[in-house]
Structure 1
Amino acid sequence: MTGTAQRTPDWWKSAVVYQIYPRSFCDSTGSGMGDIRGIISKLDHLQQLGVDVVWMSPAYTSPQDDNGYDISDYQDIDPLFGSLADVDELIEGLHSRGMKLVMDLVVNHSSDEHSWFQESRDRYSAKSDWYWWSDPRPGFEPGTPGAEPTNWASAFSGPAWHWDEKRGQYYLHIFSRKQPDLNWENPEVRKAVHGMMQWWIDRGVDGFRMDVINLISKTLPLEDAEVVPGQALSFSGSYVDGPRMDEFLHEMNQAVLKDNHLLTVGEAPGVSVEQAAKYTDPSREELGMVFQFEHMGLDEQPGHGKWALKPLHLPDLKANFAKWQHGLEGRGWNSLYWDNHDQPRIVSRWGDDSPEHRVNSAKTLATVLHLQKGTPYVYQGEEIGMTNAYFTSIEQYQDIEILNHWAEATALGADPEELLESYRTKGRDNARTPMLWDATDKAGFTTGEPWLEINPNHTEINVEAAVADPDSVFHHYRKLIGLRHDNEVVREGVFALLEPDHEQLFCYTRTVPGQPVLLVLANMSSQACTLPEDLRREGAVLLATHEERRDDELAPWESRIVELA
């Protein structure tokens, strides 16, 4: 067992978190799959970047139906990634460098291969009600279309119920059918989860990122969701932010979180500002912060799901960020992110990843995010401006979400090329391609055959090249992280949006009484932009994407952080 790091209350408010997707970060064995020893070998890179925390996506024992988010043993490591001894060494390596480790907590559901679920398949076992079981709809033959207990849809296509022959009932799975939902109404389930969390805390873990945590409370009785034309039945109101959410989170906080001063961030699809303010209000003792998704849906057609694309309208993005900044000011705490394992690369999605603009575009996107109030999250490769993969055939994809959607959509007659274009833009595998360490054949990721294709632009975009170039995206991130550590206004300043309707500029101030005001100026486009008169303010430029600057204009993808006297 490793010792715990020194943690003070709210230490995570001044921290920057770096997310690692283990299978794609670094392979130490030549298997083609990243592993924990590969992570250990790159800790100096993270220390040089300056981050405070590593969040490691699931490396637990798993059948890997959903890339490890289907866990069959919460207290062991999958041999694909290493061993518990490797985790101990990782924790020690991080702590010795002044960094901390956050683990994924995936407890809305387990794998169907978990011993809990296998025991639950027996109606007369002690764990018979640890999952959601239900009889077929009256008048329907079990296992036939329409017999499902409710009309809920899985987030990964198809019904959210699966018939189990052994039990003679349906079980609920909001995600893959191999990811049955745990029944949090049962206090024994909650007690088991708390015990598992404490086991990891004792091992030296410094916090948890809680996967889809706001789905753990279902509205009883389980009933059909309202059918709204044009809207999917997945993420039904019957199980999002349910009636016992606050109770379950507070109970967890009191049982294992409170006295350990852990970083906690709950992934919360569909959460509102008001709900997030409740979950993160310190006086309620629930969570430190949540991941919300409103800004991630701004480039999709309303009511038609993530694959129905539309161009991003910058004023919408600014309004959404301002809404969350104001909504949680003095009440809760924001998380700040562009990329993660479920989102495409931001420089390709909302930036300009052409050779001419990629570097400054990645820097400017980082600037507008990191200078807001909240805890920033950097996803692996974001710090060097990695781009989408731009796969051209369905055979190149591994993601279960895409493969299920492809099968369902093509069967209904959808245009394959239109589907592929949507996947190239927003598919999760864009973020899951291997980390680019150098310009060699396998990008320094592996000596074997990579589990997912390596982006061919690794000869130009890689860590080795970025570290060597003082004007790179990497060094811009280092400076942004340094500003958060050193500047009280970056950590605590109140956010005020400027020019809300401007279609190129994203500008705002951060203010703390008695301190110089920070002015953030960013041209979020590939064309030059004239600055309005009131934004031509004199002050010390703390960080900029361009060395050559004009007072009355921002060059394409130019950003500046100005300290006003």
Structure 2
Amino acid sequence: MRRAIPLLHLDITDAAGTLTGSQSQVDPTPTSPWWADAVVYQVYIRSFADGSGDGIGDLAGLRARIPYLAELGVDAIWINPWYPSPQADAGYDVADYRDIEPDYGTLAEADLLLAEAHDAGIKVILDIVPNHTSDHHAWFQAALAGDEAARARYIFRPGKGEAGEIEPNDWKSIFGGPAWTRTNNPDGTPGEWYLHLFAREQPDLDWENPEVVAEFQDILRFWFDRGVDGFRIDVAHGLSKPEGLPDAGEITGLTQHDVPHPAWDNEGVHEIYRGWRKVADGYDPERVFVAEAWVPSNERLARYLRPDELHTAFQFDFLRAPFDASYMKSVVDDARATVAAAGGTTTWVLSNHDVVRHVTRYARSQPDHYVESVWDRLRWHEEPADIALGVRRARAASMFILGLPGTVYLYQGEELGLPEVEDVPDEARQDPVFRIRPAGDIGRDGCRIPLPWGGDGDATGFSPAGATGQPWLPQPANWSEFNAADQESDPDSVLNLYRAALRLRRDQFADVTGFEWVHTSDDVAAFRHGDVEVWLNTGSTPVALPGGEVLLASAHDAQPGFLAPASAAWLRRS
């Protein structure tokens, strides 16, 4: 039985008064900002392209691929953290927010990248990590040394028990184990505990401290002044902690985002983002924010999008939905109704650096419900993956979301049809999830494997010819099957499908208003966006199409006038 997804009627109060709405629709108009219908390409810089030959992706490699990104047709790139970091969590443990990780290059190279991307018509969005710093950050090192002002920037608490030997509360780290680590005093005696909702190397900041608030507003200005066009906000729902840090009780972990947890989504985050919005609004053109906010409902998500807060937020329901037309329609309806009530822009995404690539999610039998723990990589271990089927479904799903109004985020390599690499050797894994989380979670390395660009050698073009360094994560033996160089010359490749879809999206949907469903059933979802209809068939039998010109199809094995199983098409009615 298919579970219905309830649509929301919102009653959202913002700083200016009350904003209410239901399922009224707001589409981009000719005066909409650039991000309202942009296609943004996520660059996981460590795995994108290696220009130096040491096996680690870097700014030189990214700069060399700007023409590729321009040819693909993206409007912007979002770069995962490129700051100096010990890499305890792939750069999300930041040691210095105003510089570049030496493995990636220099600040001068970052300035060149910004200029070259802008010259190619590509905006640049950076990742900012405000919930926590690295334990190597100068502030935290000073805190450990006893500097009281520095300690006040983090969340230190005395322990419970006669000797303070018990954690201050029962919160668990999202990576597994307690969310608290005990420190030693300068004299070597046991001291207080500090909070870390992620790895112990990532101490949480105290956003009640005005020094923290001022520091991050200054960090925003530092990068905006250099020409950065916006920020993706890591753990946007986590900055504000409740007074007293109450126990979670029966809530067993931080990853159950459909269940409220005292660590997440507290009201204090909204005042923080009102301050950030004032910073962004001081620039011309205006800079943009996109929130990574895992919250229990789209109604809660809409609160981040009030007119004086953030511009956009990731809508993650496609990451959790099966390849099923009725579910996918419900995702669209729910997201559009919610965001319209807040006056914001919908944001669609199928994959990112934290979840199983959607080719592999679609390569096995599909559940009849939403999957909450999208990072549970062991849930399919007894079912072989049919990668050919996964690629076919992924082509269709990508065309479906690229036809929707709103912002689309692509994860690097999805335009090549890359699957998850599920057999990374244990000794090569680097994700702290693999090291920390109980129950044998193999972690996120499988979606972070360096890209196969083509060429000779084991690195399949990831590193320059003659490079001595091996890719920082091993590429599988079959990776060359997906390489970009070969796909360039194949008119039916995933790469050329994406190029065609992005070109048509820009030609057909730019500044277009109007959205309506034209056909829906258990297996078929079809909508009209402007003058174009987008049809998706997730079933196992062909579906008759209405008359009209097929502009683009994800598969080429249907009879004329029919949409093949597990495929999508864009058409203009006659």
Q: TM-score, normalised by structure 2?
A: 0.83
Aligned pair in 2 of structure 1 residues 28, 432: CA closer, same or farther (>3 Å)? same
3-state SS of the aligned residue for 1:60? coil
Q: Does 1:85 align with 2:108?
A: yes
8 Å Cα contact 1:108/1:212 also seen in 2: yes
Q: Percent identity?
A: 34
**Residue of structure 2 equivalent to 1:152:** 171
Q: CA deviation at 1:393?
A: 4.4
8 Å Cα contact 1:278/1:332 also seen in 2: no
Q: Which has the higher helix share?
A: 1
Aligned pair in 2 of structure 1 residues 79, 211: CA closer, same or farther (>3 Å)? same
Q: CA deviation at 1:12?
A: 1.1
Q: TM-score, normalised by structure 1?
A: 0.84
Aligned pair in 2 of structure 1 residues 467, 553: CA closer, same or farther (>3 Å)? same
8 Å Cα contact 2:553/2:569 also seen in 1: yes
Choose from 250, 253, 266 the match for 1:242: 266
Q: Does 1:478 align with 2:489?
A: no
In 2, the alpha carbon distance for the partners of 1:207 and 1:509 equals 31
Aligned pair in 2 of structure 1 residues 550, 258: CA closer, same or farther (>3 Å)? farther
In 2, the alpha carbon distance for the partners of 1:491 and 1:121 equals 55
**Residue of structure 2 equivalent to 1:161:** 180
Q: Which moved more, 1:124-133 or 1:366-375?
A: 124-133
Q: Does 1:443 align with 2:463?
A: no
Q: CA deviation at 1:473?
A: 1.0
Q: Does 1:142 align with 2:172?
A: no
Q: Does 1:370 align with 2:402?
A: yes
**Residue of structure 2 equivalent to 1:333:** 345
**Residue of structure 1 equivalent to 2:488:** 467
Q: Which moved more, 1:33-42 or 1:239-248?
A: 239-248
Gaps of 5+ in 1: 1-7, 300-311, 411-418
Aligned pair in 2 of structure 1 residues 153, 438: CA closer, same or farther (>3 Å)? same
Give the aligned CA root-mean-square deviation in angstroms: 2.5
Choose from 289, 295, 300 the match for 1:275: 300
1:447-489 alpha-carbon deviations (Å, 9 max, x no partner): 3211101132222211101111122111111122123322237
3-state SS of the aligned residue for 1:199? helix
8 Å Cα contact 1:325/1:495 also seen in 2: no
Q: CA deviation at 1:546?
A: 3.4
8 Å Cα contact 2:290/2:310 also seen in 1: yes
Aligned pair in 2 of structure 1 residues 126, 345: CA closer, same or farther (>3 Å)? same
1:152-190 alpha-carbon deviations (Å, 9 max, x no partner): 000010011111113721111010111011111112111
1:261-290 alpha-carbon deviations (Å, 9 max, x no partner): 123111001252122223223xx2211111
Letter in 2 for 1:161: W
Q: How does 1:350-361 map to 2 (within 5 A)?
A: 350-351=362-363, 354=386, 356-357=388-389, 359-361=391-393
1:269-316 alpha-carbon deviations (Å, 9 max, x no partner): 1252122223223xx2211111243443457xxxxxxxxxxxx66644
Letter in 2 for 1:395: E
3-state SS of the aligned residue for 1:218? coil
**Residue of structure 1 equivalent to 2:194:** 171
Q: Which moved more, 1:90-99 or 1:162-171?
A: 162-171
3-state SS of the aligned residue for 1:118? helix
Letter in 2 for 1:85: A
3-state SS of the aligned residue for 1:469? coil
3-state SS of the aligned residue for 1:378? strand
Q: How does 1:201-216 map to 2 (within 5 A)?
A: 201-216=224-239
**Residue of structure 1 equivalent to 2:135:** 112
Q: Which moved more, 1:70-79 or 1:315-324?
A: 315-324
8 Å Cα contact 1:21/1:380 also seen in 2: yes
**Residue of structure 1 equivalent to 2:372:** none
Choose from 411, 415, 421 the match for 1:379: 411
3-state SS of the aligned residue for 1:109? coil
Aligned pair in 2 of structure 1 residues 495, 374: CA closer, same or farther (>3 Å)? farther
**Residue of structure 2 equivalent to 1:409:** 439
Letter in 2 for 1:321: V
3-state SS of the aligned residue for 1:377? strand
1:503-538 alpha-carbon deviations (Å, 9 max, x no partner): x43x131345xxx3x32222235x4x142xxx6321
Q: CA deviation at 1:345?
A: 1.4
8 Å Cα contact 2:545/2:563 also seen in 1: no
3-state SS of the aligned residue for 2:99? strand
Q: Does 1:432 align with 2:444?
A: no
Q: CA deviation at 1:78?
A: 1.2
1:186-207 alpha-carbon deviations (Å, 9 max, x no partner): 1211111000110111111111
